[in-house]
């Protein structure tokens, strides 16, 4: 149990376009979802925390207008990278948390902006 999926697994886009990444909890309801970013050979950095039906809480230094997060249901959160630039290229990982402290992670999305 406790499976989290992400779609797409890999995306390549042109500079200036927007990219949407989906995170779904497949077999449980997630009251909270988290979005992380990972640079090559670096650890995961928390970008934002999203609770179903409310605005996301962004970590310091993360632009909320750049990284739009929507948590419209208890099983789906989306991250939209707006007007993407090459420096936004990264590995994005989501996690979902039911009513317990443990988080369950998605397989990640590799974003490459040309």
Partner 1 sequence: KQEVTQIPAALSVPEGENLVLNCSFTDSAIYNLQWFRQDPGKGLTSLLLIQSSQREQTSGRLNASLDKSSGRSTLYIAASQPGDSATYLCAANTDKLIFGTGTRLQVFP
Binding site for partner 1 (CB under 8 A): 6, 34, 36, 42-46, 49, 91, 93, 95, 101-108, 110
State the pairing for strand pair 4-7/44-51. unpaired
Q: CA 77, CA 52: separation in Å to the nearest integer? A: 8
Give the whole-angstrom CA distance, residue 48 versus residue 59.
6
Minimum distance from CB of 75 to partner 1 (Å)? Answer: 18
Residue 19 or 48: the one with the smaller Cβ distance to partner 1 is 48
Which is nearer to partner 1, 84 or 104 (by Cβ)?
A: 104
> Residue 90 CB, nearest distance to partner 1 (Å)?
12
Q: Which is nearer to partner 1, 43 or 54 (CB)?
A: 43
In this structure, what token pair is assigned to residue 39? 């640079």
Nearest-approach distance from CB 100 to partner 1, in angstroms: 9
Report the relative pairing of strands 10-13 and 109-113 from DSSP bridges: parallel
Residue 108 CB, nearest distance to partner 1 (Å)?
4
- By C-beta, is 99 or 102 nearer to partner 1? 102
Kind of pairing between the strands at 76-81 and 4-7: unpaired
Distance CA 91, CA 71 (A): 20
């Amino acid at each position: 149990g406790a499976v989290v999926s992400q779609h797409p697994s890999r995306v390549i886009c042109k500079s200036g376009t927007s990219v949407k990444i989906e995170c779904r909890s497949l077999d449980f309801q997630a009251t909270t979802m988290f979005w992380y970013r990972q640079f090559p050979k670096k650890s995961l950095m928390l970008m934002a925390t999203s609770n179903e039906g409310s605005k996301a809480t962004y970590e310091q230094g993360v632009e909320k207008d750049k990284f739009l997060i929507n948590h419209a249901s208890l099983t789906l959160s989306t991250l939209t990278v707006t007007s993407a630039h090459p420096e936004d290229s990264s590995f994005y990982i989501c996690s979902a948390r039911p009513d317990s402290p443990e988080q369950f992670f998605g397989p990640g999305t590799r974003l490459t902006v040309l």
